[in-house]
Amino acid sequence: MPTRPKERGMEYEQMIATVRQRAGLGENEAVRSIQAVLSVLGERLAGQEADNLAAQLPERLNGSVTRNPQGRRWDVGEFLKNVGDREQVANADHVRQHAQAVLRTVAEALNDDERNDLLAQLPGGIIDLFGVPTPRG
């Protein structure tokens, strides 16, 4: 099975700093938020999409992307509930803010093809958290 070449668009420290700034978090909270969102996002993706996502993220975050070849069929509410559970944040508004900060940053770290492939697997409510135009096709 061919895999895509690794093209890392953003360094680890830059990703943490961007999420910290966007979500108003400290460093440890930003790392926990990134790990929670990537874990839930990876679990939501089917096929090799989680591997493709991980290949474009900083290497230190590869292990945070859960692999689940079948992909879970979560809507945005279930997605955010799972993020909050893993992040250990109870306030739904904070969870949404953190998820948006992480997913916007992830969207910027991916090349256009990978971003479009990723978004094509997600329902509109989750896509909205990325803050990017919905792919058409």
Residue 132 pLDDT: 80
Residue 91 contacts by C-beta under 8 Å, 6 or more apart in sequence? none
What per-residue confidence (pLDDT) applies to 6? 43
pLDDT averaged per 10 residues in sequence order, the chain, 137 residues: 48 96 97 98 95 94 93 94 97 98 96 93 95 62
Where exactly are the structural domains of the chain? 12-130
Q: Are 52 and 117 in contact (CB under 8 A)?
A: yes
Tokens, residue 67: 């692999």
Q: What's the predicted TM-score (pTM) here?
A: 0.90
Distance, in Å, from the CA atom of 25 to the CA atom of 45, rounded to the nearest integer, reads 27
The pLDDT value recorded for residue 3 is 44
- DSSP string computed for 98-112: HHHHHHHHHHHHS-H
pLDDT value for 12: 95
Which pLDDT does position 10 carry in this prediction? 79
> Candidates 2.40.110.10, 1.10.490.110, 1.20.1250.20, 2.40.160.40; correct CATH number of 12-130?
1.10.490.110
pLDDT at 133: 65
- List own/partner pairs for 66-70 with CB under 8 A and 24 or more apart: 66/38, 66/39, 66/40, 66/42, 67/42, 68/42, 68/43, 68/44, 70/46
The token duo for 104 is 């916007």
Q: How is residue 26 written in tokens?
A: 């400290």
Q: Tell me the CA end-to-end span of the chain in Å, nearest whole number.
A: 25
Q: Which residue has the tokens 């094509």?
A: 120
